[in-house]
Structure 1
Amino acid sequence: MIACCHRAIRFTDANVDELVGCSKNLTALAIEFITLPKNISFKKLERFKISLGCYLDPYNDQGWHYTFENTLKLVTDKCELLDYRMNELFDRTEVLHLQVKGVNDLGDGLAESLHHRPSFYNLRVLNICKCADLRYLFTVGVANDLKKLERLTISSCPVLETVVDGNKGGIGVIKFQELKFLSLGELPELKSLCNAVDVIELPQLLELELYGLPKFISIYPSTTSSMSSNISERQSFLNEEAVPNLEKVHISNMENLKEIWPCQFGSSKKVNACMLREFRVNDCNSLVNLFPSNPMSLLYHLEELSVIDCGSIEVLFNIDLGCVGQTPEEVSSCLRSIEVTELGNLREVWRIKGADDVGLTFSSFQAIETIFITGCKRFRNVFTPTTINFDMKALTTIDLVDCGGSERDDELVKCSQEQEINVMSNEEISEVGDTIFNVAFPSYLLHTCHNLHALGIGFSNATNVFEIESPINRELAITPHKQQPRSSFHNLTTISLWGCNKIKYLFSPLMVKLLSNLKNVTIKSCDVIEEVVSSQDDEDERITQSTNTSPNSIPHLDELRLSRLPKLKRIGGGNGAKGGSIDTSTATTICDQFEVLMPIL
């Protein structure tokens, strides 16, 4: 056995002649070619890593070093591949990167001399990039021969219309039985995953990544959405049963995407086994509905949800209880975190329709731990209607940043009509409410977030942080716990406030008495805040007695950080307020550059 390995070596004519001479007996070779020497032989190669027209990447797309996999990385044209018979290596190749001019499809176009066996039988990883003439990737026969393919990436192919072309022969079912990762991106003409094929199956697919596909308006289209009798025209990109083990979905830069799931997604019994765990959507400004009206079949295992720069979405979960088919107590979700950024039309996270029973308890989302919402100017409520007993017992952190503007709802409707998107009817707008977002943490959340640990409010147009000053809300603020009353804010340890230029004070005297475990408070860049604790009178002595707290302290507060508060006059109450003074220097006037870190006893 003769083995030869060259890397980053400039060949002389003598070197080339030597390589050509010994290539007839080589069984292992790792080399980078700028151009191929004539008459080089690959017939006996058993192990190889060869690049043509580019460098070999020492790491694969998962970050693991290529130790034993047979690898070809080819940046060239079809004629050169065929002239130098590099296609003879395809049946032994496990990792293939193709950036080839003149290729119309993978298979017949590169394997004229290999009809005796499947050309890509051992292929595990396939990366197709910048193939300017590629109109489809596989015929049905070639697709079904890829029995070992685990990762498929196709990007920047300007004329690619479909991945599998059923018009070139073969009917029935296409099955990529080992495919675990599929990425399709920057494909301006892509219309479908396959055409003229009845069924496509991806039973092992775990990750789906889609970006830059302007021809798509839906990922899972309804089969009734097209009246055409042409199979190729009504073929869905995916159907409900195609990806039973899908765990991660990342969708971005899909300018015409209007829906991901059809309104009645989940009619199939098999879809109830959906394994979706991570769902990220970014820069899809035509997308109206993130989930179908009966989304629960998609949420059994979902843990992370991230939505960024999708300007037409008004609600994340628009749930119609008439479509769910189960009572809220029977449906559970593993969702732990929600991240929402720059959704200009977002009004609420949950909108529950058909909730006529005021006493309804909705516990489907009780596993949620964190909610982060930023840059949502029209945000109003976490959920509507607010009369629902929404169980969020695991919620520990809420961050609301740059949320709640003063725009009127009719402006929103006008904008939606101009875009020819019927987002909400006037009746629905009335049901949601058109009041300005003036309370960052409204009273209806008092009975849902008993385990809240951290609350962050930034760049908000809200005029108050907490709303518990009415008699009804004062009652809600105290909940029975064994023999001792306990505040709804019992577990709140951290509050951060920044860039809120309509808030004049953070706490009322009553709130001070309820925050028994508060440890850290940060307030910065709030131009109109005058007091940390308001000097207004507390009219409810019963609350003071029932909470059994000292009127002059927040017992566990360790740090108070204040900075860039030009109108801050005092930290604690004063002027004879019954709530008392938290800090002895309450009369101190604090200038624009004031910054303090101090313990409060």
Structure 2
Amino acid sequence: MLLKRSEDLHLDLKGHEGIKSVLAELNNGEEFSNLKRVDVIIRMEEYSTSFEPVPLFNKQTSLWISNLRRLIINGCGNLEHLLSPSVARRLEQLQCFEIKDCMRLREIIFTKEIVEEEEREDVICFPQLNSLHIKGIPDLIFFCSGNFNIEFPLLKELNIEDCPNLKEFISRSSSESGMHTLFNEKVAVPSLETMTISELSNVKMIFHTDLPPNSFQHLRELSVSGCEILKNLFPASIAKHLLQLEDLSISDCGVEEIVSEGKGLEDQPVRFEFPKVSSLEVTSLKELKCFYKGQHTIVWPMLKKLTTDGSALLMIMGLEDVRIQERKRNGEAALVVEEVIPNLEQLELPHLSDEGQFPLNFFHHVKVLKVNGGFGDGFPIFPFLRKICNPESLDLECFSFRDGLPCTGDVGTPSRIKKLNLSNLRNLQRMWRKDSELGHILSNLQTLRVMFCHDLINIGASSLSFKNLTTLKVSNCEMMTNLATPLIVESLVQLTTMEVSNCTKMTEIVAHEGDYRQTIVVGKLKCLKLSKLQSLTSFCGGSYTFNFPYLEEVVVEVCPKLKIFSEGVLNTPQLQSVKPDSFDMKGCWAGDLNTTLQLLNIKKVRS
């Protein structure tokens, strides 16, 4: 009785018997006249050989399904088919539809064996559907296999992932052999804004060449990855009308060209302009030969962030074109960049291996540069930087260095680098040496972050190297036994934040180097965080005098051997607490830093 009076119904159904009994009650023909909103989540075991497939919806499904707003199916047992056309048409209020991990499902809407259908309309419409997610369905071939046109007038978000046998969203019986496309004229998504296509290893084309040019005109975000036999991303007719596109990503696919030639455009110069694209990723396309086979120009006027391989980068800007190559030889390539991507701010280059392909001052206006060396040995990274750009922020990842970061030759233009992130650098034992150009970079540095540099002993550098550094963060450096020498620490005159974590062999932050009679003043340090340093016994093992006039936050987390901060004189006039973790708002205080650490250790032992 209560169920029949309800306006809202939320069901989370689990297990074979529970799903079977509840659906039987709902589908027994009873009318629920007050029901306005229904949400259903179904979770069923896969490959349950002892159970017959449970039809989730059948011809006796009562009117409750017309009020279904959200349908989430996570596992559908042994079912091979989900909806009949008549049931699909009754999902008039459905707004969110998710189907995941259904191992035997072959089609969402199945029609071939349905003979009792009274209606023979060739259109199935989901008038309110806003979000459709299909994921982890290995046997799925079609969304719908019958001779139907499927309309999604309000669909804004579409995700299709890990469906290796999917050929077409809607089957097209007249498809030429080998010419299946994911989207043909039988599916309409006029409002689509976000689309993710991933791990569809049976799809050769996403968009049919005969689609109306404005079919995807509202698309803002498109991500395509892991499609092994995909030949291209767009036909020219679609690419020229993506005027709302803001975020475009394609990676790990077999594409030979980004845009395929359109009918009637073979001998005509084509201009591709993507007026709103601000983020573009084109990576790991091993078969990529060109952006577009025909004569063309490309403009990305609002592009801010670009992630791409070196070879694809030239294609994105049209530099593979014969006419552009002539301009490249004439030293005009930098002008081409200004024309094609005038507002680029961040450039990410994964798997960089050949710096010779980039002309001089290629990206002189880039502010953020992230480079992955793929653990190549001896790549001349700093000459490369001098050659193509002078960024404000630099990330170096997966390089192999010996005897410090290598640089030779003229220093040239003063470095603008204010932020430096070093991650996964092999064979790097010292960050600086006398003949290294890194000192030139460090002089203007404000933020330094070092991660997973397992051969690094410490950040030792000249006493002038870090004069402008305000933030220092070091983590996961296995061989590091101390962070820096007293001379280096005293030179950190602008440092406000220091964080050290997960360095398993670190025994002290400041190295003990015998007698050091001067007071070590860390004049602007406000925040010190020490976390998960299993071997740390003290901040400094020597009897040095430390002065921290502005230190106000100290966090000591999972440092089991840390019993004392320093054996020397400590001056911390602003410090009022020590926190055992970052989430502790009050912390603990026993009058001075050393006594407080001892108190925290006593509390840990007792707990």
TM class by smaller structure:
0.5 to 0.7
Match of residue 305, structure 2, among 354, 360, 370: 370
- The corresponding residue for 2:158 is 208
**Contact persistence 1:104–1:133 (CA under 8 A):** no
**Against the structure 1 CA distance between its residues 181 and 291, is the aligned structure 2 distance closer, same or farther, given a 3 Å change threshold?**
same
Shift of 1:108: 0.2
Q: Does 1:190 pair with 2:90?
A: no
Amino acid at match of 2:81: Y
Match of residue 343, structure 2, among 381, 394, 399: 394
Shift of 1:554: 8.2
- The corresponding residue for 2:167 is 217
Task: For residues 8-51 of structure 1, give each alpha carbon's deviation from its aligned partner in whole angstroms, at most 9, with x where no partner exists.
Answer: xxxxxxxxxxxxxxx4xxxxx4xxxxxxxxxxxx54x1335465
CA–CA distance in structure 1, aligned partners of residues 373 and 33 of structure 2: 57
CA–CA distance in structure 2, aligned partners of residues 297 and 126 of structure 1: 36
Shift of 1:189: 3.6
Shift of 1:583: 6.5
**Against the structure 1 CA distance between its residues 75 and 87, is the aligned structure 2 distance closer, same or farther, given a 3 Å change threshold?**
farther
Shift of 1:124: 1.7
CA–CA distance in structure 2, aligned partners of residues 275 and 175 of structure 1: 19
CA–CA distance in structure 1, aligned partners of residues 39 and 421 of structure 2: 53
5 Å-filtered alignment, 1:424-503, equals 437-439=353-355, 442-444=357-359, 446-448=361-363, 450-461=365-376, 463-465=379-381, 489=389, 492-501=391-400
SS for the counterpart of 1:517 is coil
- The corresponding residue for 2:293 is 353
Percent identity between the two aligned chains: 19
Amino acid at match of 2:381: V
SS for the counterpart of 1:94 is strand
5 Å-filtered alignment, 1:194-593, equals 194-219=144-169, 225-226=175-176, 239=185, 242-262=188-208, 264=209, 267-271=211-215, 274-292=217-235, 296-297=239-240, 299-307=242-250, 310=252, 312-313=253-254, 317=258, 323=265, 331-339=273-281, 343=284, 346=286, 351-355=291-295, 362-363=298-299, 365-372=300-307, 380-384=311-315, 385=319, 387=325, 389-390=336-337, 391-401=340-350, 403-404=351-352, 437-439=353-355, 442-444=357-359, 446-448=361-363, 450-461=365-376, 463-465=379-381, 489=389, 492-501=391-400, 509-510=409-410, 512-522=411-421, 525-527=425-427, 556-558=444-446
**Contact persistence 2:214–2:241 (CA under 8 A):** no
| Unmatched tracts of structure 1, length 5 or more | 1-22, 24-28, 30-41, 56-72, 112-117, 405-436, 478-487, 538-550, 573-580, 585-591
- The corresponding residue for 2:540 is none
**Against the structure 1 CA distance between its residues 205 and 79, is the aligned structure 2 distance closer, same or farther, given a 3 Å change threshold?**
closer
CA–CA distance in structure 2, aligned partners of residues 126 and 553 of structure 1: 56
Q: CA RMSD in A?
A: 5.0
CA–CA distance in structure 2, aligned partners of residues 85 and 240 of structure 1: 34
**Against the structure 1 CA distance between its residues 347 and 248, is the aligned structure 2 distance closer, same or farther, given a 3 Å change threshold?**
same
**Contact persistence 1:277–1:303 (CA under 8 A):** yes
CA–CA distance in structure 2, aligned partners of residues 282 and 154 of structure 1: 20
CA–CA distance in structure 2, aligned partners of residues 157 and 468 of structure 1: 50
CA–CA distance in structure 2, aligned partners of residues 354 and 96 of structure 1: 51
SS for the counterpart of 2:88 is helix
Shift of 1:104: 3.9
Shift of 1:523: 5.0
**Contact persistence 2:146–2:171 (CA under 8 A):** no
Amino acid at match of 2:427: D
**Contact persistence 1:560–1:599 (CA under 8 A):** no
Task: For residues 206-262 of structure 1, give each alpha carbon's deviation from its aligned partner in whole angstroms, at most 9, with x where no partner exists.
Answer: 11122342321355888864369xxxx989665486111111222334343333234
Task: For residues 97-134 of structure 1, give each alpha carbon's deviation from its aligned partner in whole angstroms, at most 9, with x where no partner exists.
Answer: 346865446240534xxxxxx55222222234433354
- The corresponding residue for 1:172 is 122
Amino acid at match of 2:254: I
Match of residue 72, structure 2, among 124, 127, 131: 127
CA–CA distance in structure 2, aligned partners of residues 148 and 181 of structure 1: 12
**Contact persistence 2:346–2:367 (CA under 8 A):** yes
- The corresponding residue for 2:87 is 142
Question: Which one scores higher on RCO, CA 8 angstroms, separation ≥ 6?
Answer: 1
Shift of 1:79: 9.0
Shift of 1:204: 0.7
Task: For residues 294-337 of structure 1, give each alpha carbon's deviation from its aligned partner in whole angstroms, at most 9, with x where no partner exists.
Answer: 662464323233456x3x43668356599599866562242222
**Against the structure 1 CA distance between its residues 568 and 500, is the aligned structure 2 distance closer, same or farther, given a 3 Å change threshold?**
farther
CA–CA distance in structure 2, aligned partners of residues 352 and 80 of structure 1: 53
Q: Does 1:47 pair with 2:33?
A: no
**Against the structure 1 CA distance between its residues 397 and 349, is the aligned structure 2 distance closer, same or farther, given a 3 Å change threshold?**
farther
Amino acid at match of 2:61: L
CA–CA distance in structure 2, aligned partners of residues 569 and 83 of structure 1: 68
Amino acid at match of 1:456: V
CA–CA distance in structure 1, aligned partners of residues 27 and 177 of structure 2: 50
**Against the structure 1 CA distance between its residues 107 and 595, is the aligned structure 2 distance closer, same or farther, given a 3 Å change threshold?**
same
> How many residue pairs are counted as aligned between the two chains?
438
| Unmatched tracts of structure 2, length 5 or more | 45-51, 326-332, 467-478, 495-607
Amino acid at match of 1:301: Q
CA–CA distance in structure 2, aligned partners of residues 152 and 582 of structure 1: 60
**Against the structure 1 CA distance between its residues 555 and 515, is the aligned structure 2 distance closer, same or farther, given a 3 Å change threshold?**
same
**Against the structure 1 CA distance between its residues 180 and 514, is the aligned structure 2 distance closer, same or farther, given a 3 Å change threshold?**
same
CA–CA distance in structure 2, aligned partners of residues 332 and 555 of structure 1: 40
Give the TM-score of the pair, scaled to structure 2.
0.57
